[in-house]
Structure 1
């Protein structure tokens, strides 16, 4: 087994608590009924602990990737539009807070795992150059492609849910991890509100055909990059096997278990549900372009049923 992730500055004692175990317990209590499960079957508390530590690093990488590749570029592009000064000032503040979040989670990962993050911010999340180029072009056109505002709303509301869950945890968590999510949560509250204001301003500005195209592209991106485990999550278990030679023979089985989660509705509802992202799903209900789609965790409701 690899050493515990050290998150205290040199000279202070202590090791990281099983931080992501708490988030897994929160979701598994809801969907699977047994706390502390991991998506792959591991033998022994040490292996489960290390898996959860590595997955916590991956979780932080997701935030870093999302805010640098989508959030900040979308906001920069929107700032080139003529907005009333109060909204323009909100956009500038929004972009600056996203930049601060990125730096905060970068520092946290480097502090926790300097070996993995000595020369890169993204160890598990790797996007091919082609998709990087396509995304860079697409996010520079948020007025005609407001699907990225939908993604921002969905992911920031989801982040709020899990940050609140971390802070409510009855088990003490590592202070640096808790403080990062406390700060992130404080900003995400008004980020969600700004996302909604931007959607109100832009979504109906485009025609029905373009709205339908945006919704379908959103559904594809959600499943491909923000849904059930795929490439990056497989790298988490590959890193675990690299650190734990006794697991290497089980790696093919672990990969199959991880990929099988794409067909596990109970697991998928721990990613997105009306409990986790109520405002986003309520907006989907009001948009025929989204009601007609199959989206992870989403089942349309009429207004009277909400």
Structure 2
């Protein structure tokens, strides 16, 4: 799962005009319909996980991050707090800190508070609302920093502001790297290796392989919050697209797939049923699933191999005592 909260989301909403927000939502709706129809038309039905994060989904994900079963957020924060000074020393001086995604739930501040060598901060996000909130909050907290933002997709083509004499350090927390299939993760890192140049760095949150029971409980909690988060995808389709998913006849399923090592999240039909959306009808049999998300887990050596293939050396790895999670510093090879 991705951590998509901003530093001051409600403040940012007040700063942006309603027309811009409306335009953004309309674009998202158009994309949602096309992606949903395409995904339901496949033999192995699937919907991209980004559509989990409407306003309701984001609020539910904030709840997930506080659940006792969901260890990634608090464990990563604990690693950063315990090792912030070491991380800052390993990164060094005269750097530009690039955060991928608007706001990391306070994680960036944990590091920036200990990084006198940071001279500049850039946030990249595809959505202008949280981007504005993050930029304003960083400006206020760190008046010494040169702060800028880029509204764009960090997965695709984008142009970074020029930064003469500074070395780039890219911050990618939250185990968001785990949302990529492994080949896509390698390609993503390779793209950023080329973008950062020799000596550039990435600081990446990487969830580690562990007992499958711990993983499955993290993605299927006893209170059912994660189930409501996943099921909200169908409710969103009903609200926004006029679909008629009967959510009482679908269930959330999270299971660990050992090879190659990921949590697979699906919404499983519990009855023979038809679903109508966009003027089309899709038949579901009992047990038929809609794939929503994979969350990949890595052994430390396994991620080092993947990073190496992408043109990075793993400089340092920090973990919690139980070795549930890791924060890894990658340095671009010459």
TM-score band, normalised by shorter chain: 0.3 to 0.5
* Bigger share in helix: 1
TM-score (norm 1): 0.34
TM-score (norm 2): 0.32
* Bigger share in strand: 2
